[in-house]
Chain A
Amino acid sequence: MLTLRSILRPARVVDAHCDIPCGIYDPEQARIEAESCLRIIEKYEGNEDPLFRARCVHVKEERAELVKHHLDVLWHDYFKPEHLEKYPDLHETFWKATKQASKVKQSLDAGAAKELLSMIDSIDEMWKATGGLEKTRVSGRPS
Chain B
Amino acid sequence: MPRRWLVAILGAAAGTAAVAYAARRLDAVAVRGLSMAPALLPGDRLLVVRHRGRLRPGHVVVVSDPRDATRELVKRVSTLDAGRVSLLGDNRAESTDTRVFGPFPASAVRWRAVLRYWPPSRIGFVPSSISTGSDPAAHALSG
Contact = CB atoms under 8 A, between A and B. Distances in A.
A15 B45 CA distance: 12
A18 B74 CA distance: 11
B74 A10 contact: no
Interface in A1-59: 1-3, 6-7, 10, 12-20
Interface stretch (B4-12, B94-102, B128-136): B94-102
Contacts, number: 98
B31 interface: yes
Nearest to B30: A10
Interface string A127-143: 00011001100000000
A115 B93 CA distance: 30
B28 A13 contact: no
Contacts of A19: 96
Given A2-B27, A3-B23, A16 B99 contact: no
B28 A2 contact: yes
A92 interface: no
B74 A16 contact: yes
Interface residues of A, number: 23
A7 B95 CA distance: 26
Interface of A: 1-3, 6-7, 10, 12-20, 80-83, 130-131, 134-135
The 7 A-B pairs of least Cβ separation, nearest first, read A17-B33, A2-B26, A16-B36, A14-B74, A16-B33, A16-B35, A10-B28
24 contacts: A1-B26, A2-B23, A2-B27, A7-B45, A7-B117, A10-B29, A12-B27, A12-B29, A13-B31, A14-B30, A14-B31, A14-B46, A14-B48, A15-B35, A15-B72, A15-B73, A16-B95, A18-B34, A20-B67, A20-B96, A80-B92, A80-B94, A82-B92, A131-B143
